[in-house]
Amino acid sequence: MKKKIIRIAIGIALLLSGIVFESRSFLVSLILFAISFIVSGYDIILKAFKNIIRGKVFDENFLMSVAAISAFCIGEYLESAAVVIFYQIGETFQNYAVSKSRKSVSALMDIKPDFANLKTEDGILKVAPQDVKIGDIIIIRPGEKVPLDGVIVSGNSSVDCSPITGESIPADLCEGNEIISGCVNMSGVIFVKVTKEYSESTVNKILDLIENAISKKSKSENFITEFARIYSPIVTAAAVLVAIIPPLLFHGAWYTWIYRALSFLVVSCPCALVISIPLSFFGGIGRASKLGILIKGGKYVEILASLDTVVFDKTGTLTTGAFSVSDVIPAGVSENELLRLAAHAEAFSNHPISNSIKSFYGTPLDLSLVSDAEELPGYGISATVEGKKMLVGNSKLMSNNNVFFDDTPVFGAVVHVAADGEYLGKIVISDTVKQDAFTAIKSLRAVGINNVVMLTGDNRNSSKRIADSLGIDKVYSELLPEDKVSKLEEIASSGKHTAFIGDGINDAPALARADVGIAMGAFGSDAAIEAADVVLMNDAPSDIAKAVELSKHTMNIVKQNIVFSLSVKLAVFILISLGLAHMWLAVFADVGIAFLAILNALRTLK
């Protein structure tokens, strides 16, 4: 960059010297203009030549080289040198703008941990994060990055999670809390038991997402690439026709029409579009990442900007997923016996509802009493406890096994319990609505999303109560994972651009099916994050509205640049054809418009 700036400065000095000597010595001014042209523009001609050899003929380097060399050949020495100097100034600014935009994303690369302090029998060893295994204990001192995901087994500290989640307030973590890689330990020394290898860690997945995001181009970016490929040969042919048809058919002056054709070539360079459009998307993705919103490519920015329907999963998305037992209703057995049998049946499950039942029971489980435990996604649990065939789950599980059960409506998720086909009662589980969920729905309305839907496997009464409290338009309850996909397809079939938001493994099919899948990233499942197109690292549903608003802002800038650039170029084309504009205006229409378009594109960073 510095060498290029020095070359431009020398070129400008030589150009000004040539202008000074123009009235005194034609030969001296010609030599100064020629040296200025060579110093400033040799690399443009070299790139054009190399691209021609590679089969890429009609790019901006070719157009500029032909225009500048031809202008020199017809005696327009000053304008020839000026064209390449102004083009180089524009290129330098473009490189600076792209570099600044890249920094908004590459700054995130600083979250990559350099080492891990591994606790061994021989003491503490500083090793690469990739060398640490699941179950190993690592030590994280104040000021160090958390290298791997794990659970704190000793110590407590304030942890800065802003590099990952965008959350500015440090989290106070202690023994038993989960901690994710990429965060920064701020105060105390903590000992962490590793739960994921580096390749599966949060920080590595985020880095992969960032590196792959820019490769997924939007329709607008693909259009501009294709447009430039077709556009350049057409304008080159048009310039040739402008140069030869008027002199041959209408006795026009060759010099005049060649000059107009060269001006035509200068103004036709598609730099403003080719640079500013991808830069706009890059800036939008970079800005979103600073807010803890990872968008996996420009095409998803485009979809987010045109959303009209948002479909939420309930548990862990709109609700905390922190289930607790709110009521125990036995039928023919004691409350304690109902809880004991249900807790043992759920012994091997890590589902939030299972954990809430085990936690509420509060007595250590005798795992030797349990056998043949099987998790039935969308239904519940089947297990043998003390020789009894236990069924613990929802009403569909009871119906499918011909168990007569109490279906009296209650507020909350109902877990029915049966043993050997005999109904023993039900346990009511309540989930808490996230405070941020209320803000999320209001914010979505504010950015123009007027159709908000909730899909859940929860019972009808509980899910309707939550939907009504949040102001959700429509709710579909008691759905299996495959039912969610079917409902999503039904909603999308009406021609709506649809986003689905979820966090669990069972949400992955729906996330993949939606026009844009949005996953809760901080503690969402790996499958959900992989299937999603957008990841909310702060686990805040209100960030969806931020993503939509930012995407709309980005797309507005893209449209402004397309309309502005093409309009100005068309106007200058017409003026040049009528002989009302010189090559200086053509230079402005190329470099000047590119300069303005890039400045406009950089607004996505703010």
| DSSP symbols for 269-291 | --HHHHHHHHHHHHHHHHHHHHT
Listing DSSP states for 107-131 in one string gives GGGGGS---EEEEETTEEEEE-GGG
The type of residue at 297 is G
The type of residue at 140 is I
Q: What is the mean pLDDT of each run of 10 residues along the chain (606 residues)?
A: 81 86 83 88 83 73 75 76 77 65 52 83 88 92 89 88 60 85 85 89 65 53 63 79 87 84 76 72 81 82 90 83 83 92 92 87 91 87 94 92 87 88 91 86 92 83 83 86 80 81 74 84 60 81 93 90 84 82 75 78 77
Same domain membership, residue 78 and residue 50: yes
Residue 589 DSSP code: I
Q: What residues are paired with 499 via a beta bridge?
A: 310, 516
Give residue 570's pLDDT: 84
Same domain membership, residue 267 and residue 229: yes
Beta-carbon count within 10 A of 24 CB: 8
Structure-token pair, residue 429: 């589980």
Same domain membership, residue 192 and residue 140: yes
Cβ atoms of residues 593 and 564 within 8 Å: yes
Cβ atoms of residues 48 and 69 within 8 Å: no
Where is 96: in which H helix or E strand? helix 77-106
The CATH number of residue 182's host domain is 2.70.150.10
* Cα maximum dimension of the chain: 114
Same domain membership, residue 383 and residue 334: yes
Same domain membership, residue 361 and residue 508: no
Examine residue 203 and state whether it is found in any structural domain, yes or no: no
Where is 179: in which H helix or E strand? strand 178-179
The CATH number of residue 385's host domain is 3.40.1110.10
Give residue 220's pLDDT: 59
Listing DSSP states for 319-378 in one string gives B----EEEEEEESSS-HHHHHHHHHHHTTT---HHHHHHHHHH-S---GGGEEEEEEETT
Cβ atoms of residues 61 and 44 within 8 Å: yes
Same domain membership, residue 333 and residue 417: yes
Give residue 164's pLDDT: 61
Contacts made by residues 339-343, CB under 8 angstroms, sequence distance 24+: 339/427, 341/385, 341/388, 341/390, 341/417, 341/419, 341/424, 342/390, 342/392, 342/415, 342/417, 342/427
Select from 168, 48, 160, 37 the least CA-distant residue to 110: 160
Cβ atoms of residues 304 and 295 within 8 Å: yes
Q: Which of 411, 430, 449 is the last residue of a domain?
A: 430
Give residue 590's pLDDT: 72
Q: Which of 404, 430, 456 is the last residue of a domain?
A: 430
CA 415 – CA 418 distance, rounded (Å): 10
Give residue 397's pLDDT: 92
Beta-carbon count within 10 A of 270 CB: 23
Tally of structural domains, the chain: 4
Give residue 224's pLDDT: 59
Examine residue 542 and state whether it is found in any structural domain, yes or no: no
CA 602 – CA 281 distance, rounded (Å): 10
Structure-token pair, residue 218: 């939007």
Same domain membership, residue 153 and residue 76: no
Structure-token pair, residue 294: 């990872």
Examine residue 267 and state whether it is found in any structural domain, yes or no: yes
Q: Which residues are catalytic?
A: 313
Same domain membership, residue 60 and residue 6: yes
Examine residue 441 and state whether it is found in any structural domain, yes or no: yes
Examine residue 422 and state whether it is found in any structural domain, yes or no: yes
Same domain membership, residue 513 and residue 471: yes
Examine residue 426 and state whether it is found in any structural domain, yes or no: yes
Query: How much is the pTM?
Result: 0.63
The CATH number of residue 316's host domain is 3.40.50.1000
Give residue 316's pLDDT: 76
Examine residue 52 and state whether it is found in any structural domain, yes or no: yes
Half-sphere exposure of 397 (CA within 13 A, CB side): 26
CA 409 – CA 302 distance, rounded (Å): 44
Tell the residue number behind the tokens 């017809």, with chain if given: 74
Task: Find the helix packing angle between 77-106 and 593-601, rounded to 10°.
Answer: 10
CA 549, 555, 557: angle at the middle one, nearest 5? 105
CA 263 – CA 550 distance, rounded (Å): 38
Select from 271, 328, 344 the least CA-distant residue to 95: 271
Q: Which of 148, 166, 196 is the last residue of a domain?
A: 196
Where is 474: in which H helix or E strand? strand 474-476
For residue 438, count CB atoms less than 10 angstroms from its CB and return exposed for 0-12, middle for 13-18, buried for 19 or more. middle
Residue 64 DSSP code: H
The domain of 191 spans 133-196
CA 181 – CA 179 distance, rounded (Å): 7
Where is 575: in which H helix or E strand? helix 543-577
Select from 591, 473, 547, 536 the least CA-distant residue to 82: 591
Alpha helices in 499-542 (DSSP H): 508-513, 526-531
Examine residue 543 and state whether it is found in any structural domain, yes or no: no
Same domain membership, residue 441 and residue 358: no
Same domain membership, residue 416 and residue 451: no
Structure-token pair, residue 326: 């709110």
Tell the residue number behind the tokens 């019972």, with chain if given: 459
Give residue 214's pLDDT: 47
Same domain membership, residue 441 and residue 311: yes
